[in-house]
Amino acid sequence: GAVVSQHPSWVICKSGTSVKIECRSLDFQATTMFWYRQFPKQSLMLMATSNEGSKATYEQGVEKDKFLINHASLTLSTLTVTSAHPEDSSFYICSARHKAGGIRRIDFGPGTRLTVT
């Protein structure tokens, strides 16, 4: 079964509103969680790396004030898209690295499809 969950699985919101996406590791502790987005017919693009208890590291070109990441516990990270605009419509996926599994174990969430109207 799934070991990483995301909520919601899809969301439609109006331009200018904020949307929060949750990523949970279900039966393991995740020291590091990664957030990606994927536009249609394009590759996954890493947005940020989130370590529990510390500030996220954002990739170049990703606005940290627009995409707020909170990794408050070893099983939960949240991504908040603030003041969403239609160009933010995308497929957002998180992944979690197992604390006990070494660097080779990374599991992905099922993704959240965001549509901003």
Partner 1 sequence: RKEVEQDPGPFNVPEGATVAFNCTYSNSASQSFFWYRQDCRKEPKLLMSVYSSGNEDGRFTAQLNRASQYISLLIRDSKLSDSATYLCVVLYSGGYQKVTFGTGTKLQVIP
* Smaller CB separation from partner 1, 46 or 76: 46
Angstrom distance (rounded) from CA 96 to CA 49: 10
Query: Is 28 an interacting residue with respect to partner 1 (CB under 8 A)?
Result: no
With contact defined as beta carbons under 8 Å apart, do 44 and 34 qualify? no
Query: Is 104 an interacting residue with respect to partner 1 (CB under 8 A)?
Result: yes
- Nearest CA among 47, 86, 87, 44 for reference residue 69: 47
* φ/ψ (deg, to 5) at 105: -110, 105
With contact defined as beta carbons under 8 Å apart, do 34 and 46 qualify? yes
Helix (H) or strand (E) holding 94: strand 90-98
Query: Is 49 an interacting residue with respect to partner 1 (CB under 8 A)?
Result: yes
Q: How far is the CB of 42 from partner 1 (least distance, A)?
A: 7
Instruction: Candidates 22-30, 70-78, 79-87, 100-108: pick the segment binding partner 1 (CB under 8 A).
Output: 100-108
Query: Is 80 an interacting residue with respect to partner 1 (CB under 8 A)?
Result: no
State the residues that interact with partner 1 by CB under 8 A.
Answer: 32, 34, 36, 42-46, 49, 51, 57, 91, 93, 95, 97, 103-104, 106-111
